[in-house]
Amino acid sequence: MGILITVSVLIIFNVAMWLVLLARFNSFFSTEDIIKKTRDSLNSMLTELNRNADRNITLMDDRIRQIKAVSAEADRHLLILQKELNSLQAGAVFKEKLADKKKHTRSNSSIGDIRSPYPSRPQDSVQGDLFTAQEEKPAAVSSSSSNSTVKVPVFEPKVFMAEKPVVPKKDFNEQVKELSGLGFNVFEIVAKTGRSIQEVKLALELR
């Protein structure tokens, strides 16, 4: 009887173990589990790829916006440069025209000076005080072709002499030499000339 119970227990234990092993075997090697794991791994890979693609697309959009901004700034600078070049060209053309007009005016004035037989008298003179009391003396100019005489005014300006003529200033070295010869010391020479002591001493040493 005891042997029968022991055999029954062993049989039940073996059956249970076989059932556990079969369940484990099915869990490890079942096609559904493999398909599920494969699907999960593929889903995770696709999710990571989508995330990376979104990040790359965002970076590319940012780069494209930056490139467009730089291109717009470059176009603006080119437009400003073109305007500056146009203004410089217009200025150069204007300068050339102005130079041509000046040359033409100078040539006309020189021709007029050559053809004019009498010098023109200025209307407003800067030194009006010297020429206010001018005396006109008629001078007779005879023409060889006719007996008529043309009177040309001759102006003799009065020269005024200053009451106190300007005396040229002596050289500093000569002043120092002269004052030193008269017996003045360094400090007296500095007071009279208004120079520094070093300059006076240097002039005395170079004497």
| Pair 158, 189: CB distance under 8 Å | no
Domain boundaries, position 177 = 172-205
What is the C-alpha separation between 116 and 109, in angstroms, rounded? Answer: 10
Question: What is the value of pTM for the model shown?
Answer: 0.32
Tens of pLDDT, residue by residue over 163-195, are 666 656 677 888 888 888 888 888 998 888 888
Regarding predicted confidence, which is higher, 31 or 5? 5
| Any domain includes 75 | yes
Q: For residue 6, is it within any domain?
A: yes
Calculate helix-pair angle for 197-205, 172-181, nearest 10 degrees.
80
Do residues 149 and 140 make contact, with C-beta atoms less than 8 angstroms apart?
yes
Q: Does a structural domain hold residue 157?
A: no
101 & 191 share domain = no
